[in-house]
Structure 1
Amino acid sequence: MARKPTKTRSSTKQMTKTDLPDGLVSLTPVTYAVADTQITALQVWHNPGRKPSSHGPWDDEADKVAWVDEKSGLGCIMLRQENGTLSGYVGVGPDHPLFGFNADAVPIDIAGPVHGGVTYGKACEVNRFKQEEYGDPRTERYTVCHVTVTRVVRNYRTVKATKDEFEHEDLWWLGFDTDHVGDLVPKGYDHHAAKGDVYRDQAFVYRQVTAFARRLRELADAKDSDTEGETAPIQLPAPSSDQGHD
């Protein structure tokens, strides 16, 4: 449970900072408020290293939120990048028509409506990398790999991901970024040089992610419908016993 907001003083004004939930804060999924609604989050992470140092709308946002979209049934992730912007991802299974597609291979009618287009197409970043080959294992707080089993992480500063850290799903993730022309990049933010750029907050990214997830579900359903409507191919009749004889 998040603690009550505490007040911190600055030299110019007094600001209120909300303590964000960090890690899997409950043995059961937690409720997370975003875009005038509430979602059932399976992960909520606060990643201090990626949080912009300047104050802004990102102050009260978590840095990674993972959930299953109720309407599409697909896993979704919002993840803050090193430049302070948020990216969105949707995971599809092996039976989906776009499973295994690189970002630039996603059809334009699917990628076009997504903010900035689809820029990410990769398999789950399973945190099962061998340390001798890849260095420290990827920590769960930064991975694009959905988790459906919740656990309590006691101390995020010391916990490292291990090969049995979580139950892996064979998903292919398609996603987008929010650091395009017209997007405000928080870690490069200068009040005197904003030039009308807009920070794409969690509400914006959430709406993009869910709309994308539902479009991907429609695509999968259309494929299933086409498959069900297929008829057996027309075959030539078997040759008669006297065929080829005078």
Structure 2
Amino acid sequence: MARKKTATTKAPGIDVAKSGLPDGLLSSQPVAYPVAGTSVTALQVWHNPDRRPRGDGPWTDEADKVAWIDETTGFGCIMLRQSNGTLSGYVGVPPGHPLFGFEADALPVDLASGVHGGITYARPCEVNRFERRAHGRPREERYTVCHTTYIRHVQEYRTVQTTSDEFEDEDLWWVGFDTGHPGDLVPKPRLGDDHRRGGVYRDQAFVYANVLELARLLTAADGERKGQRSTTPASLPSPDIGGDEA
């Protein structure tokens, strides 16, 4: 595991204190982010121009990654724009949650069907530490579904600057959904997806509402969070956490 470094720690050949923010990160401190007629205390707000749809549209004033902790459930939440221009939503549950480690097709039907299009993502934390690589390179924080930090980004190939994690557990299990289903507008469709241009764009207000509902459903599945005895239904298959990393 890469050792965490404070913002003033110097790595060989790098003046970390003067490194500044990564390109696209709005702030190194929590900020109020308006969404769906309210606001969340966003721990990260990223702008990822490579994923933003062209031209003006309902996405014009949207960020491309927003991460926060839901005040009601205490779960970490993320809205993230995909390479096709659509938005996806994710909620992270800690070890000890009865559904930690369950893949998407193994989740209870009532939970899986409780959000738009059903659950399509259930995987462990993606981190951009150099031990876990995407095609030989560290993952970039702006695209990860993982713990939220004020700053965690790659300074050099094997040098990571980070502040303290906002979550108690080293790993979370992220459960999520996407908005690239039939009837949804895909702003940047791949070849063969042109028929999706006529759908409805699922904006951040829509995704935010579904994220909150997913957090509520995951809380209901965890009786211990309300002081109740936690039980896992006998019909649930054993969790499988050995799948490929996203």
1:225 — aligned with what? 228
1:226 aligned counterpart, secondary structure? coil
1:71 — aligned with what? 72
1:150 — aligned with what? 150
The question of whether the paired residues in 2 share the 8 Å contact of 1:89 and 1:174 is answered with yes
2:17 — aligned with what? none
Q: What does the per-residue CA deviation read over 1:80-103, in whole Å, with 9 as the maximum and x for residues that have no partner?
A: 000000000000000101100101
1:5 — aligned with what? none
Q: Which amino acid in 2 is paired with 1:84?
A: G
2:68 aligned counterpart, secondary structure? strand
- Superposed displacement of residue 159, structure 1: 5.0
The question of whether the paired residues in 1 share the 8 Å contact of 2:223 and 2:230 is answered with no
1:13 — aligned with what? none
Distance (whole Å) between structure 1 residues aligned to residue 197 and residue 84 of structure 2: 18
Which structure 1 residue ranges, 5 or more long, are not aligned? 1-20, 229-246
The question of whether the paired residues in 1 share the 8 Å contact of 2:89 and 2:207 is answered with yes
TM-score by length of 2: 0.73
Identical aligned residues as a percent: 57
Residue 210 in structure 1 maps to residue 219 in structure 2: no
Matches within 5 A, 1:28-177: 28-130=29-131, 134-147=135-148, 149-151=149-151, 164-166=160-162, 167=164, 169-177=170-178
- Coordinate RMSD, CA, aligned: 2.8
Identify if the C-alpha distance between structure 1 residues 79 and 160 changes in structure 2 by more than 3 Å, giving closer, same or farther.
farther
1:49 aligned counterpart, secondary structure? helix
Distance (whole Å) between structure 2 residues aligned to residue 126 and residue 66 of structure 1: 14
1:205 aligned counterpart, secondary structure? helix
1:238 — aligned with what? none
2:85 aligned counterpart, secondary structure? coil
1:104 aligned counterpart, secondary structure? helix
The question of whether the paired residues in 2 share the 8 Å contact of 1:77 and 1:146 is answered with no
Q: What does the per-residue CA deviation read over 1:181-234, in whole Å, with 9 as the maximum and x for residues that have no partner?
A: 100001139xx9667510000000000001111111121126851349xxxxxx
Q: What does the per-residue CA deviation read over 1:6-32, in whole Å, with 9 as the maximum and x for residues that have no partner?
A: xxxxxxxxxxxxxxx941514x31010
The question of whether the paired residues in 1 share the 8 Å contact of 2:43 and 2:67 is answered with yes
1:41 aligned counterpart, secondary structure? strand
Question: How many residues in Structure 1 have an aligned counterpart in Structure 2?
Answer: 200
Distance (whole Å) between structure 2 residues aligned to residue 152 and residue 131 of structure 1: 14
